[in-house]
Amino acid sequence: MVSRRKFLAGGAALGAAGAAIYATPLAKNLFLPPKANYVLTAQQSQWDFGGHINKPAQVFTYQKDQPVPLIRMQQGQPFYARLKNHMLEPTTIHWHGIRLPNAMDGVPYLTQEPVYPTESFDYQFTPKDAGTYFYHSHFNSLAQLSQGLAGMIIIDEVKKPDFDHDIPLNLRDWRINENGKYQNFLEPITAAKAGTFGQLKTANWQVAPNHIVKPNSLVRLRILVSDVTRIFKLIVKDSSNPEAKAKIIAIDGNPIDDIRDMGREWIGPGMRMDIAILTPDEGQTIELVNTSTNKPWVVASLTSQGQSQKRVWQDLKPLPQNPIEPLDLQGAEIKKFEFSASSGEQEDLGINCAASDYIFWAINKTAIGHLDPNSSSLRPAANLKLGKTYIFEFTNITPQTHPIHLHGFFFRVLSSTKRKIAPHWADTSLIRPKETVRVAFNADTLGNWLMHCHILEHQKTGMTGYINVS
Ligand SMILES: [Cu+2]
C-alpha cells in the first residue's frame, strides 16, 4: 500500500490545487498517485463504511480493503493500465465518456474477450479530452458495480485551471443492510419500474463526508453518479447565505458554453457535473443535498477553516473547451430510437455479459439483455458511415426516466419536446417519460459502440443496443 506521505508527495507535484485534494484527511485512501502506469487488481475485499454497518461488507475493489481509487490521467499523454483479475468471475473495464479506440472500450464480446480469473488485460490510450469521467466493470455489470467496481477519473487539463481545492464525489448507494448483507441485485418488480434503490447512501464510500476547505476559496467539486439506479436531484445549501453559491462549469467532462447558477440539478447514473463553489467565511458550512426523494439528505459537506483566500466570483474563469470537431447539422442523417417496455418479441441471445431471465425493456422493439457474438440475431441498432454527422432522436414512451449512454462519442444535446435545453456536450442524457430528445454527433471512430440505459436493471432486462461505424 502507498503511504500517506507518498500520497502527499504525489499531490505536491500537482501544485496547490492537487495538494489540497491529497491532504483532505477523509479521502486519503481514495487516490492513487498520478502516473501513467496503473495496475488495477480486481479483487474481493472488505469495507465497513466507517462503522456505519455492524460487520464489514464483502466488496469488489481495485486495491485491498480500500475504496475503488480515483484514477488521474493527463490530457494528451498516453495512459496505460493493466487490469488483473483476482476475482472468481470474469471482468473488464469500460472507460465511460472517454473517446478512445474501440478495442479499448471494455465491452465483453463486443470489443474484447472477457478477462477471466487469474488473467490480465492491458488498456492503453491517449485521452484527447480533459474533465471528469467514470470507469467501471462492464461484465456482469449490475452485480459488479453494485459491489463496488465503479470509480472516478480525472483527466487534467494541459494548463491547470486556477482552483484552491479540487474535490471528487463519487455518489452511490449500497443495497446492504446493517449486517453487511446484500439484497438481490435484480428485483423483477422494481426492475420493471424505476429500478431498485439501495439503503446505504455514500459519497466516496463514506456516509456524508465533510471536507475542510479554506474560507473564501474557489472549489471545483466534481460529482459522479456511479449508482446503478438512483437519479439525484442536487442542490447546494450555504449555512451563511441562502442564495446559491454554486455554478455549473462542466457536464459529462465537457465545459458548458455559459457558466450558470446551479439550481436543482438532475443527475442520473453515469452522468457527471463539475460545479464551482465560493466557500463561505471561517466556520461556515456548505452542504450538497439530494432532494429527489421526500426525505432529502446531505450527500457531502464543506466546512471553511483557516486562512481566507479572498476569492471572488470574478476569479472563476471558463474551463478550456475540449477538441471536438464541429458538427455538420445540415448534412446530418436522422436515426430514430424508441425506448419502450418490451413487446414480448425478445431476442434470445444466449448467455453472459448481462445474463438475465427477465426482459422488460426494448430499444426499437428489440430487447437485448445479453451480448453473444455467435447469435445471428445480434445486429446493430444502426449502421453509420465513418466521418458523417448523425442526429439521434431518442423517444421515451415509458413512464420511467432513462439515462441513455452512448459509448465512444460526445453527443451534442440539441433539444427536447418537453423542456428547454441549453445545448451542451454529453455522453449520457436523461430522457423523461413521453419525451423526445435530439442529440447529434460525429461518427468519427470505427467500431461497434454500445448504447444503453445506465439504470443497470433496465440495461440488463432489454434496454441495450449497439451501433456500428464503418
Ligand atoms: Cu432505463
Domain boundaries, the chain: 4-160, 188-315, 333-469
C-alpha 459 – ligand 1 centre gap (Å): 7
Q: What is the pTM of this model?
A: 0.90
C-alpha 370 – ligand 1 centre gap (Å): 16
d(CA 394, CA 373): 26
pLDDT tens, 192-250? 999 999 999 999 999 999 999 999 999 999 999 999 999 999 999 987 776 657 999 99
Answer yes or no: are the C-beta atoms of 234 and 286 closer than 8 Å.
no
Instruction: Determine whether 421 is exposed, middle or buried from the number of CB atoms within 10 Å of its CB (0-12, 13-18, 19+).
Output: middle
CB-CB neighbours of 284 under 10 Å: 16
C-alpha 315 – ligand 1 centre gap (Å): 40
C-alpha 82 – ligand 1 centre gap (Å): 31
Q: Which CATH number fits domain 4-160: 2.60.40.10, 2.60.40.420, 3.30.70.260, 3.40.50.300?
A: 2.60.40.420
C-alpha 186 – ligand 1 centre gap (Å): 14
C-alpha 437 – ligand 1 centre gap (Å): 15
C-alpha 376 – ligand 1 centre gap (Å): 26
C-alpha 130 – ligand 1 centre gap (Å): 28
| pLDDT at position 427 | 98
C-alpha 18 – ligand 1 centre gap (Å): 36
C-alpha 405 – ligand 1 centre gap (Å): 10
C-alpha 456 – ligand 1 centre gap (Å): 7
C-alpha 279 – ligand 1 centre gap (Å): 36
C-alpha 318 – ligand 1 centre gap (Å): 33
C-alpha 140 – ligand 1 centre gap (Å): 17
Q: Specify the CATH number of the domain 333-469.
A: 2.60.40.420
| pLDDT at position 379 | 84
CATH 2.60.40.420 fits 188-315, yes or no: yes
C-alpha 337 – ligand 1 centre gap (Å): 14
C-alpha 106 – ligand 1 centre gap (Å): 21
Using 50 as the pLDDT threshold, list the residues of the chain that sit under it: 1-30, 345-355
C-alpha 305 – ligand 1 centre gap (Å): 42
C-alpha 61 – ligand 1 centre gap (Å): 25
C-alpha 391 – ligand 1 centre gap (Å): 21
